[in-house]
Amino acid sequence: KDVNELGAKHNIYNQNMKLRFWQSAEMMRSFSSALANREFIVYYQPKVTLSSGDVVGVEALVRWQKKDGKIIPPNDFIPQFEQTGAIIKLDFYVYEEVLKQIRNWVELGLDIVPVSINLSRCHAENKNLYDEIMGLTKKYNIAPKYIEFEITESAFTHNAQYLIEVLTKFREYGFNISMDDFGAGYSFLNALYEIPVNILKLDKGFLKPSEVSAKQREIIKQVVVLAKNIDLNIVCEGVETKEQAEFLLGIGCDMAQGYFYAKPMPLEDLKHYLNNQKVKQQLSKS
Ligand code: C2E
Ligand code: MG
Ligand code: MG
Ligand code: MG
């Protein structure tokens, strides 16, 4: 009986493996056709200075818009894309979409909003990272000061030396590099001097509990002080309330991103959002 049970379990295990294999094969097929059909769309979330609320940049955040119009959030497909390596292609696709957009702003003579692009930890194994990014940047002839690459600490758990070399070249060229989700789980303090970043993005988890404890406040405060003392800009993500914004302003945090200011939005909405901001500024001046 026991043997039979074991055999049955083994079968289920095998079936699960097969299922997973087919699911990921299926996933890759649908990825390729989605890419060809331009089903991946870029949303933009404003990043503001805490003191004035002025927009200082936007973060590009990908969505998958299926043929039926349904929009799939990145957390529902990026983990699979990271397993199969498809994420590398997707990141370059998103970067190219962003470059086209900036070129468009340049051509229309509009103000240029700096854009942040997320780079997956998979790029630690991508030997083409430097060439591909430089090739695209030159193709669209965009100044590096308008571009920021966001990368999480978890990217540095292997091949760290390789990634550090590439990012160092990016910094030298003039791109901004930020450490995304800082403090979320893999934090190691030597990251702050070994990895060539010039911006820290404090993970939204820090602000999560509605009653942020005195201890948490102190930690956020000291991270902000530390960042400033070593000349890093600091952005706090996940700001949802006025109280959080006031607290962050009070401890000297420079910039913030979060639903309190704006959610990620499609390009059309971003245009309106930026126009309204301008009107607000003019009204407050007059
Ligand atoms: P992330 O890079 O940390 O991006 C910030 C995430 O926080 C976004 O989720 C954003 O919508 C969300 N967020 C912003 N403000 C608030 C807030 O006030 N409250 C809450 N609860 N959430 C807020 P989103 O757009 O669902 O993206 C999730 C993650 O997917 C991103 O986290 C990023 O790691 C990844 N991702 C998105 N686009 C790309 C991409 O083009 N390439 C790669 N490699 N990863 C991407
Ligand atoms: Mg990010
Ligand atoms: Mg990220
Ligand atoms: Mg983040």
Residue 238 CA to ligand 3 center (angstroms) comes to 13
- Ligand closest to Cα of 203 equals 4
- Give the closest residue to 192 by CA, choosing from 177, 207, 173, 204: 177
Tokens encoding 158 = 């292997």
**Tell me: the pLDDT tens digits for 193-235?**
889 999 999 998 888 765 668 888 888 899 999 999 999 999 9
Q: Is the CB of 78 under 6 A from ligand 1?
A: yes
Q: Any idea which of 27-31, 70-74, 163-167, 197-201 has the lowest mean pLDDT?
A: 27-31
Q: Is the CB of 255 under 6 A from ligand 1?
A: no
Q: How much is the ipTM here? A: 0.99
- Cα angle value 179/148/120 (rounded, 5°): 55
Q: Are 140 and 99 in contact (CB under 8 A)?
A: yes
Q: Is the CB of 46 under 6 A from ligand 1?
A: no
Q: Is the CB of 116 under 6 A from ligand 1?
A: no
6-28 average pLDDT score: 71
> Could you tell me whether strands 176-182 and 199-202 are parallel, antiparallel, or unpaired per DSSP bridges?
parallel
Q: What is the pTM of this model?
A: 0.92
